[in-house]
Amino acid sequence: MLRSLALLGALTYVAAAASAPVREVTSEAANASVPPRFFKGYIYWAGREPLRIYTPDGYQMPVTPPSKGTAQAIAVDTNGALAIAWTTPSTGGIDLYDSSGALVRTIQTSRYLPAYLSFADDHCLWSLGWQMTSRPYNPTRDDYMIVRKFLPNGQQAGAYLPRSQFPDGLEPGDEARRLTNCITLSHDRVGLLVNSGMYGNKTEWVELDLNGNLTGRWRLDQFVNELRVAFTSDDHIFVYYRGMDGRNPHLSTLDREASTWKQVQWQWAPNGYLASADGEQLIFTDYRSGPIHVGWYEQP
């Protein structure tokens, strides 16, 4: 009997440990009228508010405003370099900063408006975005590549994934999904969360290899309520969503071989929402009120 109780206690301890976050941070960032955006463990505000960035340790970064326009998205490289995408009514661009915060160069992207950014292991910068006409914020009817790749020296090295491969409607790479980063690089592929239809609940998960070749695409239309996606460095895709009543959070993952989404039976229930991945770990945040809490969890 005593051995059984000891074993039960040990199993309970293991289960509790498995459900606990690997790391927790209460950030200096606090809830605001505009929801924050997330890149790995970074929290930032851009778009309608002045750019503010908070590190995974919870502290505000000193940031130089973009050289032009309004900041739209950020990415931070493993070497500490920072990229900020910005737009004006007539053009787009990306500012590149070194780890000290000094502006190194500006990439002019003309009428292509980068909406999301991510660095690869080789320090190349990839963007997901959309292209407009000469009229401000009016999407072009001409075909264009929604994904761009830039070398560390700022030169464009490639453009991939034609707009024409998606249905009419919302631009696949526009900035409507501000709560989740829609382009993520792993060691061997590019993962994209894109619009794919007339309405915001029509979406796809798309993958490219590192040469920009299309390798897979999967509909996400069934995940319509508070959709979040995280792509880990070991190539697992996790989709977070809630039931139609707005409660009961669910997590699903992609079985590539079967080409189906399978619900994950998780043993833990983190507070808040799935924000992103950081390496092989999942980040959940609670930003409903007060200081923003961030937790890193092992995959279920």
Q: Report if residue 288 sits inside a domain.
A: yes
Nearest of 77, 149, 147 to residue 115 by alpha carbon: 147
Residue-wise pLDDT tens digits, 153-174: 999 999 999 999 999 999 999 8
Output the pLDDT for position 5.
36
The full DSSP string for 262-284 is EE---S---SSEEEEEETTEEEE
50 is in which domain, residue-wise?
Answer: 22-297
* CATH number, residue 208: 2.120.10.30
Please state the length of the chain.
300
**pLDDT for 265:** 82
100 in a structural domain: yes
Total number of domains in the chain: 1
> What contacts 145, CB < 8 A, 6 or more positions away?
159, 160, 161, 162, 163
Is residue 107 included in any domain, yes or no? yes
- Residue 10 inside a domain? The answer is no
* 64 in any annotated domain: yes
> Do the domain assignments include residue 293?
yes
Residue 155 within a domain: yes
CB 282 within 8 A of CB 236: no
Residues of the chain with pLDDT under 50: 1-18
On whether residue 17 sits in a domain, the answer given is no
Q: What is the pLDDT at residue 6?
A: 38
DSSP notation for 145-186: EEEEEE-TTS-EEEEEEEGGGS-SSS-TT-TT-TTS-SEEE-
